[in-house]
Amino acid sequence: MTPMPKAKLQKILDDLERHRPKGRAVAAFDADGTLWDTDLGEGLFSFQIENKLVPLPADPWGHYNYLKEHVSNPVAYLWLAQICKDVPLATVRAWAETSVASKPLPIFDEQLQIMEKLKQLQVEIYIVTASIKWAVEPGALRLGLTADDVIGIETEVVNGVVGDKQKGVITYREGKSEAILARTGGLAPYFTSGNTEGDKWLLEGATHLRLVMSAAPEGSENWPTESRMVALAKERDWHWHRFR
């Protein structure tokens, strides 16, 4: 995996300081494929399947992929939260932590340095993900953020127990932009980062700076969408980096 050239990273760090708005400032990142080279949402799903933790169809991955291909991505992503119905939220969070802790989390060092710069600049940092919020929270903790800094897909929780009713917007495509504005009270982030076309609205919603990341191997599911986002970044003079 090819690291970002030092001069390229330094330009981003310099831009973050130069363009930081006066007063309150916000930055927003996608999670999977943007902050780390893995998918924590699907990782939790695999963990649930392997350990038979929730009731599932005979072919769980086949059902999930059918929903994505023949119904819609939002329905599929929400379903990954709905399968946790009747489970205490504390238990779901414990599953997510165990899943993430089972192997090293491949965090992009460049994003760690960008986050450190943002923290130095006293910028509010949020992760806006189309994965379920609870699956991504352990990753946020490893970046020095909190569970509250993660905005993701959720279902309603009643008396500490997960239900199947959608909570809030689906944080995918336009929903990502809507969700960050709802969290900040309408203050648009001045810096955003993502990797796929599902993040396009989040990126376009930034007031000053955008960074497209791409780590998907050629031939993988995300290769075409990441390639189109890198092309868009070049066309619009956004910051970008392809690791492969």
- Please report the pLDDT score of residue 244 as a whole number: 80
Among 4, 135, 41, 136, residue whose Cα is nearest residue 126: 136
Name residue 93's amino acid.
R
Would the pTM of this model clear 0.85, i.e. be above it? yes
Average pLDDT of the chain is 97
Q: Domain 6-242: give its CATH code.
A: 3.40.50.1000
Provide the pLDDT confidence category of residue 24 given band limits of 50, 70 and 90.
very high
Apex 54 CA angle, 49 and 60, nearest 5: 45
Provide the pLDDT confidence category of residue 1 given band limits of 50, 70 and 90.
confident
Provide the pLDDT confidence category of residue 153 given band limits of 50, 70 and 90.
very high
Is pLDDT at 102 greater than 90 in this prediction?
yes
Taking CA atoms, 13 is separated from 7, 201, 213, in Å, by 10, 23, 15
pLDDT (tens digit, 9 = 90+) per residue, 189-211? 999 999 999 999 999 999 999 99
pLDDT > 90: percent of the chain:
99
- Please report the pLDDT score of residue 177 as a whole number: 97
pLDDT (tens digit, 9 = 90+) per residue, 32-54? 999 999 999 999 999 999 999 99
